[in-house]
């Protein structure tokens, strides 16, 4: 697969702006370096990227793929623009399905719920939101003030509850939307798609056979591809879903009414239609780039050796950062005439490693895993003097990490020291993450008030961004990377995951 700049028009426009951009880049870099002596922040790689337009894969397969982005009126304005500014610039065929018909700039959002059975619409309470949207457009949203996302956010969010009804109509409509498409790739508004990798991966399969490919999720006995991590159906699989759904529509309506997630409902239809899920781990990634443990292994496969096709829970700055890196990486590959897939280890070395520091202020690296030393929690009789001191200062927390040979990183706020044998990037933070919940994509924290009482943490004294300090044991990390590399020598280390994996 080769690469080419996306359009001559964009290039020309880019060239005209270049002196301004170079000046902007210089000032930004200067500010960045002045700034980073104290406050950690993401490097602004995007400045150079926009000067020449996106660099996109030149793959014969790209016209065979329809990317389907599923969203809702409660989140579209906030979460879609970053897709238009990054990955979708390289995707020739995509469609956006929502719970309200509207235009966003030059993009059209289709109402995918319009064909849901009227009886359902009049029975399921979540359709109150839908009816309001139909009657009043965006004004219909104002009666609701707080919207979360996903099962761990606001389960009561009517936008979230509506979402489960989109999955089956979405598959049928996607088939009609692009008759020539052989593959349908379904993503959500916080899914980051690594388009060149996905194309290379799909190129390994026979599109004429039914395929259902994604990150497996098991709830009770229900196995399905996790929606937020993105998943793929080949045309024969999508056709079977649409047929099977329409043939048993009332039953699936009843089933959807009782279940809470649409990806689960779709998984059930696929199972009923006799199509098994390919467990595409670690290509479809349920965690975001900043929260990922880079030593993670799934189904005995060390992610480090493989190429991710998606990340989930990606916020705007992280998506922009990865896009800028992706662009730089593919340009480099093109210049060197090599076309290796961009593996986890490439992303770590090229993007993450340079951001790890011995002492990062206003940054939480999400350290957890070995121990949490807290001033307000009595330690057992076995605790060493170093461990007892750990919650007292950043340096004492660092010493506690040093005393544990497997410790790679730590995070500190007055009264609490977390040490970890995992390797994560993390993000800017004013509060310490005590435990990271992967499926929810959220940090579990003490509430501020509990923290304040328990640890003597003083809101007035904590200076905003400086309230969390993190550090990585850089020499240990260096050695650790060598150990990870050494585990990529197995023959399958460089391969795509193509075989089914069965639980029983
Ligand atoms: C809608 O669902 C109800 C209840 O299952 C059913 O009786 C009715 O025929 C359905 N309507 C259509 C148009 O399919």
Q: Which protein residue has the closest C-alpha to ligand 1 atom 13?
A: 117
Alpha-carbon span 91 to 329, nearest angstrom:
18
Alpha-carbon span 108 to 101, nearest angstrom:
8
Say what the pLDDT of residue 490 is. 61
Say what the pLDDT of residue 429 is. 85
Q: Which protein residue has the closest C-alpha to ligand 1 atom 5?
A: 250
Cβ atoms of 66 and 198 closer than 8 Å: no
How, if at all, do strands 360-361 and 310-311 pair? unpaired
**Considering Cα of 95, then 183, then 281, then 278, what sign does the dihedral take?**
positive
How, if at all, do strands 212-214 and 277-279 pair? parallel
Q: Which protein residue has the closest C-alpha to ligand 1 atom 10?
A: 117
Most informative mutation of 119, 254, 256, 257 for ligand 1 (most atoms within 8 A of CB): 119
Residues in the chain: 504
Q: Which protein residue has the closest C-alpha to ligand 1 atom 12?
A: 117
Alpha-carbon span 254 to 258, nearest angstrom:
7
Cβ atoms of 392 and 416 closer than 8 Å: no
Tokens 């199509």 belong to: 275
Task: Give me the average pLDDT of each 10-residue run along the chain (504 residues).
Answer: 42 37 47 39 46 84 97 90 96 96 94 94 90 84 51 58 94 97 97 97 96 94 94 98 97 93 96 95 95 91 94 95 95 88 96 96 89 90 95 96 97 94 92 80 64 47 64 98 88 70 50
Ligand 1 center–CA 254 separation, angstroms: 11
Ligand 1 center–CA 127 separation, angstroms: 16
Atom of ligand 1 nearest to the CA of 253: 5
415 burial class (0-12, 13-18, 19+ CB within 10 angstroms)? Answer: buried
Say what the pLDDT of residue 51 is. 61
How far is C-alpha 134 from the chain's CA centre?
A: 31
Q: Which protein residue has the closest C-alpha to ligand 1 atom 11?
A: 117
How, if at all, do strands 183-188 and 212-214 pair? unpaired
Structure tokens at 380: 């057992």
Most informative mutation of 114, 115, 116, 117 for ligand 1 (most atoms within 8 A of CB): 117
Alpha-carbon span 287 to 311, nearest angstrom:
6
pLDDT in tens, 224-272: 999 999 999 999 999 999 999 999 999 999 999 998 899 999 999 999 9
Ligand 1 center–CA 70 separation, angstroms: 25
Residues ≥6 apart with Cβ < 8 Å to 28: 44, 47
Give the predicted TM-score (pTM) of the model.
Answer: 0.85
Say what the pLDDT of residue 252 is. 97
What is the greatest pairwise CA distance in the chain?
A: 70
Hey, is 48 helix, strand or coil? helix
Taking CA 74 as the corner, what is the angle to CA 71 and CA 79, rounded to the nearest 5 degrees? Answer: 55
Q: Which residues line ligand 1 (CB under 6 A)?
A: 117, 119, 250, 253
179 burial class (0-12, 13-18, 19+ CB within 10 angstroms)? Answer: exposed
Cβ atoms of 489 and 445 closer than 8 Å: no
Alpha-carbon span 130 to 159, nearest angstrom:
9
């Amino acid at each position: 697969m080769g690469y080419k700049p996306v359009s001559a028009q964009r290039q020309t426009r880019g060239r005209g702006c270049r002196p301004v951009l170079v000046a902007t880049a210089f000032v930004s870099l200067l500010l960045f370096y002045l700034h980073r002596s104290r406050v950690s922040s993401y490097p602004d790689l995007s400045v150079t990227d926009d000067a020449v337009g996106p660099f996109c894969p030149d793959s014969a397969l790209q016209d065979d793929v329809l990317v389907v982005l599923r969203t809702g009126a409660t989140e579209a304005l906030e979460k879609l623009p970053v897709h238009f500014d990054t990955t979708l610039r390289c995707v020739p065929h995509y469609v956006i399905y929502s719970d309200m018909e509207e235009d966003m700039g030059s993009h059209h959002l289709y109402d995918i719920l319009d064909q849901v059975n009227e009886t359902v619409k009049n029975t399921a309470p979540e359709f109150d939101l839908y009816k309001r949207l139909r009657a009043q457009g965006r004004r219909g949203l104002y009666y609701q003030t707080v919207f979360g996302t996903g099962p761990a956010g606001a389960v009561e969010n009517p936008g979230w509850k509506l979402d489960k009804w989109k999955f089956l109509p979405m598959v049928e409509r996607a088939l009609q939307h692009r008759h020539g498409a052989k593959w349908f790739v379904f993503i959500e508004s916080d899914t980051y798609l690594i388009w060149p990798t996905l194309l290379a991966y799909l190129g390994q399969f026979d599109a004429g056979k039914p395929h259902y490919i994604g990150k497996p999720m098991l709830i009770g006995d229900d196995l399905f591809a996790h929606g937020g991590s993105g998943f793929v159906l080949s045309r024969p699989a999508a056709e079977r879903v649409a047929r099977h759904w329409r043939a048993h529509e009332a039953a699936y309506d009843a089933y959807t009414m009782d279940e809470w997630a649409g990806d689960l409902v779709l998984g059930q239809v696929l199972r009923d239609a006799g199509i098994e899920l390919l467990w595409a781990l670690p290509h479809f990634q349920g965690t975001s780039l900043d929260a990922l443990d880079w030593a993670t292994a799934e189904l005995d496969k060390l992610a480090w050796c493989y190429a991710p096709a998606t990340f989930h829970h990606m916020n705007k700055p992280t998506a922009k950062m990865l896009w800028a890196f992706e662009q730089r990486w593919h340009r480099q590959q093109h210049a060197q005439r090599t076309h290796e897939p961009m593996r986890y280890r490439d992303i770590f070395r090229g993007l993450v490693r340079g951001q790890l520091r011995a002492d990062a202020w206003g940054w939480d690296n999400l350290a957890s895993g070995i121990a949490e030393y807290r001033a307000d929690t009595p330690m057992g009789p076995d605790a060493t003097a170093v461990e007892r001191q750990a919650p007292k200062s950043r340096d004492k927390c660092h010493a506690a990490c040093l005393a544990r040979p497997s410790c790679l990183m730590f995070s500190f706020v007055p009264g609490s020291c977390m040490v970890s044998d995992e390797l994560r990037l993390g993000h800017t933070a004013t509060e310490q993450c005590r435990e990271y919940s992967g499926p929810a994509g959220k940090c579990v924290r003490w509430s501020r008030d509990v923290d304040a009482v328990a640890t003597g943490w003083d809101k007035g004294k904590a200076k905003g961004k400086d309230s969390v300090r993190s550090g990585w044991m850089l020499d240990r990390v260096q050695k650790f990377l060598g150990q990870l590399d050494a585990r990529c020598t197995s023959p399958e280390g460089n391969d795509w995951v193509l075989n089914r994996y069965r639980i029983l």
